[in-house]
A and B are shown apart, each in its own frame.
Chain A
Amino acid sequence: MTGGVQEAEAAPAEVFDVAVVGAGPAGLAAAGEAAAAGCSVLLVDAGTQFGGQYWRHAAPEAEDTDPGRWHHGWSIYQRLTQRVRDAVDVGRIRHLASTHVVSVRREQAGGDGAEGFLLQASLLPEAQKPGSYQAPQLLQARALILCPGTYDRQLPVPGWTLPGVMAAGGVQAFIKTQGAAPGRRVVLAGTGPFLLSAAASVIHAGAEVAAICESNSLTGWFPGGAAAALVPSKAAEGAGYVALLAKHRVPYYRSTAVTAIHGDAAREGAVRSVTVSALDASGTPVPGSGREVNDVDVVGLGWGFVPQPELLLQLGAQTTLDEDGSLVGVADADQSSSIPRLYLAGEITGVAGAAAAVAEGRIAGRAASSSVGQAVRAGVADIQDRATRAAHRRFASVMQKAHPIPEGWTQWLEDETLICRCEEVPWETARAAAEELSAEEPRGLKGSTRIGMGWCQGRMCGFAAQCLSKKAHVGEGGASSGREAEHAAALSAAKRPLAVPMRLGDLAEEPELTQE
């Protein structure tokens, strides 16, 4: 591979007014707005095409004539991307697709002496052309808008490593890109409204939903729920799901969790059935309540979403623990972080859905533009965006309160259930470390068991490790200090100096920046 490496050259002198990381709902909105304000914009995105996870869709080669049929708000997506494409065409936006931002740091950038941002961007390995390796590049911008979105939050359960077990988000992503369901008969389990959205996708893709297991007793989502009523689009969405599930007679269980997944030895362990158990008020499985749901080939587990905090933490921006236990960035009314010219939009400020993300992206795009001296006319649109953001954040907050992770989830673990899949660390090892070595917080747990040290760097097991540490802190010094300790633990577990793995050769060849 080294033969094809191009000599590292001095980085190009171009300094963008605004860099946007992520081209999902928030990033598209932010980039479009900043370009419209007259900024030169860099839009870096890991996706091969626009849309992020929310509007993930089939590649053009798939010739899906109507990708919008899998999506909410497809017309919004089309408007946002058209605006970005127009700006790309006139050279106002430079779009780097299939590109990860590996790291970011603050640097002197631009002629005005103010600090800007230096992004190390790396082409995805699968996007590299054979024979001509494209080394990572350094890019500079005066203002930065982070819209990194989320990934699925995982909670271990016996059997969760079997073929056919996916994240609920993964089930939906599969359908959006393949145009077909990943299996014939699907069980969706976990908590939160996303289970309904995923179930709707499965039904639309022509497969059967064998059961939905909602771990909470569920209040507030269905039509008439106080919060939903304040956000008519969400109320309508909820009503749509209810009607759809009723029409297809989908069994919907409350206060219920999938507590074991069973594979079929004859089919390389592929999923064949699940055990569902009732949960008591504290979220602990009720002994003896387990019953089998058979003839299942896909299980989608949905425990919510984790905002991707790497770049935020590399810059040292202020964070907080959201109501759902996720580490999120602190942003003010203009989506400005605690760091000058660093703006945050979308799920990185708290999981609140695509409508809030678009509104935040637009607000951030305008604020970032004005921070680099591009006058922005604040009009009716701005008032509308702020109202949309407020309504959807309120709705999200109610949803998060109604859908906590069941306290007693560790009760369904078996000794050999893997907590960390990369390093293959079973529950008994984690428990022993906590009990015998007092390795209760994620850092100690990591050091003594290797949980989170593997390929995914704790993205998959990090939330579980954080939950274990939360238990350890119960009763230590009251609720607030427990919350503080949990925040500190989450911070320490989520610090990743490289947002994605990087070739050592690329680290060795990082070019020097030319400073005038």
Chain B
Amino acid sequence: MSAVPRTGADVLVIGAGAVGSAVAFYCARAGMSVTVLDKGKPGGGTSSRCEGNLLVSDKEHGPELDLANYSLDLWRGELEEFGHLWEFENKGGIIVASRESSMTSLQRALRTQREHGIRVEEIDVPQLRELEPNISDDAVGAAFYPDDAQLMPMLLTAHMLRLARSHGAQVHPDTEVTGFLSQGERITGVTTNRGEFQANVVINAAGPWSGQLASLAGVSVPVEPRRGYVLVTEPLPPKVFHKVYAAEYIDNVGSSDDGLQTSPVVEGTPAGSILIGSSRERVGFDPTFSPTAVRDIARNAVELFPFLSDVRILRHYFGFRPYSPDHVPVIGPDPRAPGLWHACGHEGAGIGLASGTGKLIAQAVAGEPTDLDLAAFAPDRFGAADSEAAQSGAAKEAAA
């Protein structure tokens, strides 16, 4: 840190969502001076338009699983004292197979997951009914993941920022980055609609807008929006006790298809509403209502939990997941633009992975050894094809 003369904050975080807030918290707690900018309101992007999943059940082995396990240890460990503030619930997840064929694929997936240290038990229909009495009669078997958890993302973001502020961080809403400041090839800050902000390190935590932000600094980070809908029911007495989803969900999470995919994810919340997902489609930042996505989500959910048919939906919303082509987040310093770091591309897992991402960034910025090797998350790992795809995606958005 001492190589560069100090002119502003130690760390400038762009994006006050779950990931940016956790980065700010860990950096501020480590004694760095931190400034957070957001083009809108804190938590106003993806973090207020998602479900708050902390899942290991949908992970394949590899760096994302490592980060998920590392993050879970933090949520349940050093962050446990704050868990009630963001309604952390270690509720467990259940994947339900409704056909013999999907049960077979599920069993295959379980074996691999178990080999890589994911705690999972295969359960039969009576056991499933014990855990979820309202599940469909079509269920033929299921897998139970005791480590899947949930939290409330808006509360997480608000409290992470509050904690960061208590360690001296400053938060500037409605402050949109318009360009980067540099000395030679080194990034030294940003220009915004509210003036310049200088810093030793600028961290791109702009979620689905991260690709656009990186391009302002002249580097390509192929993170793109992938839209998803969530339906919210009227508040009910508890009827869904775990995070319950269908076996097809894993395939969709791991796919890179542009088109619309839907698979049911159903979960209760402490407030009584049931959240119903999920859909995935890469349509840029298109806000046009998709009746097909909402209808398919509704159909899937009713198949999984028939009682939901007569439950009323109060609202639905959509958000944009920060999709990364290889489904692995982008975390760490960018060698192509010294001074610029990234903490983005978490797709649908950013809430759960926020803690680990924040802590690893804080360690790396401080020049300490990191608990996980950041090489697998390197910003310059993508090939030209990914970058071109991202460019053409950006062009499509610009045209729309």
Q: Which residues of A contact B (CB under 8 A)?
A: 1-2, 103, 105, 314, 423, 433, 436-439, 441, 443-444, 446-448, 450, 453-455, 457, 496-498, 501-505, 507-508, 510
Contact = CB atoms under 8 A, between A and B. Distances in A.
A450 B234 CA distance: 13
Interface in B250-269: none
B154 interface: yes
A103 B315 CA distance: 11
Contacts of B295: 507-508, 510
Contacts of A1: 309-310
Interface of B: 41-44, 48, 154-155, 157-159, 161-162, 171, 173, 231, 233-235, 271, 273, 276, 289, 291, 294-295, 298-299, 301-302, 308-317
A444 B41 contact: yes
15 contacts: A2-B310, A103-B289, A314-B289, A438-B42, A438-B161, A447-B48, A454-B235, A455-B314, A497-B289, A498-B313, A502-B313, A504-B276, A504-B301, A507-B313, A508-B309
B313 A510 contact: no
B277 to A, nearest CB: 13
A507 B173 CA distance: 37
B168 to A, nearest CB: 15
Given A441-B41, A454-B235, A507-B294, A447 B154 contact: yes
A504 B48 contact: no
B314 A498 contact: yes
Contacts of A507: 231, 294-295, 298, 313
Nearest to A102: B313
Nearest to B174: A485
B158 to A, nearest CB: 4
Given A438-B161, A439-B158, A448-B158, A497 B315 contact: yes
A450 B317 CA distance: 16
B312 A503 contact: yes
Nearest to B229: A497
Contacts of B154: 444, 446-448
A454 B44 CA distance: 19
B271 A501 contact: no
Nearest to A423: B271
A102 B371 CA distance: 51
Given A454-B235, A503-B311, A507-B298, 20 more contacts: A1-B310, A423-B271, A433-B158, A437-B159, A438-B42, A438-B161, A444-B44, A446-B154, A447-B154, A448-B154, A503-B312, A504-B231, A504-B301, A504-B302, A504-B310, A504-B312, A507-B231, A507-B313, A508-B309, A510-B291
Nearest to B294: A507
A436 B85 CA distance: 13
Contacts of A438: 42, 158, 161-162, 171, 173
Given A441-B41, A444-B43, A508-B299, A501 B291 contact: no
Contacts of B308: 504-505
A503 B291 contact: no
A485 to B, nearest CB: 8
Contacts of B312: 501-504
Contacts of B42: 438, 444
A437 B276 CA distance: 28
Contact of B309 (A446, A454, A505): A505
A504 B309 contact: yes
Contacts of B157: 447
Contacts of A448: 154-155, 158
A105 B302 CA distance: 25
A455 B310 contact: no
Contacts of A457: 314-315
Contact of A453 (B158, B271, B310): B271
